[in-house]
Amino acid sequence: MNHKEKAVNFFSQKLHCSQSVLAAFAEECGITEEEALKLGSCFGGGMRKGHVCGAVSGALMVLGLLYGQKSVGDTEGLQLSNKVNDLMMTRFKEKCGSYICNDLLGYDITTEKGHQFCVDNKLFTNFCPKMVATAVDVVEEIIQKQKRA
């Protein structure tokens, strides 16, 4: 199974979007699937507040583990993590129109009415997997770009 298939499969098993993306890359990131699931568990649904899409947060965790600062004073790691962060946010927004959960869904998931609309209209089961897949695609684009750099 490739990363995208893994992530969408995790999401279909009722894991958060953030967990699904991070867990799909756990091996490459040097962490266990269990660690990935724990780490990503509080970021779904824009941290349950409709903020930055959990799939994007999961993707940023992957990129941080792959390219982030390794120690205090690691300015090269800081610069690289800033670069891949900006690439992730920009590319996801280009592909999806936003990286804010509520904007992507078109409803405020923190309200009972907004959340219920998303449930009733199957946005969490039909729309969100597309965001998970897109986040994985962008991570893979960035990884390929970094390999060529």
Q: What is the mean pLDDT of residues 35-39?
A: 98
In the chain, the percentage of residues whose pLDDT exceeds 70 is: 100
User: Residue 44 has what pLDDT?
Assistant: 96
pLDDT per residue over 89-147, tens digit each? 999 999 999 999 999 999 999 999 999 999 999 999 999 999 999 999 999 999 999 99
pLDDT band at 149 (very low <50, low <70, confident <90, very high): confident
- Annotate 82-120 with DSSP letters as a single string: HHHHHHHHHHHHHHHS-SBHHHHHTS-TTSHHHHHHHHH
Residue type, 90: T
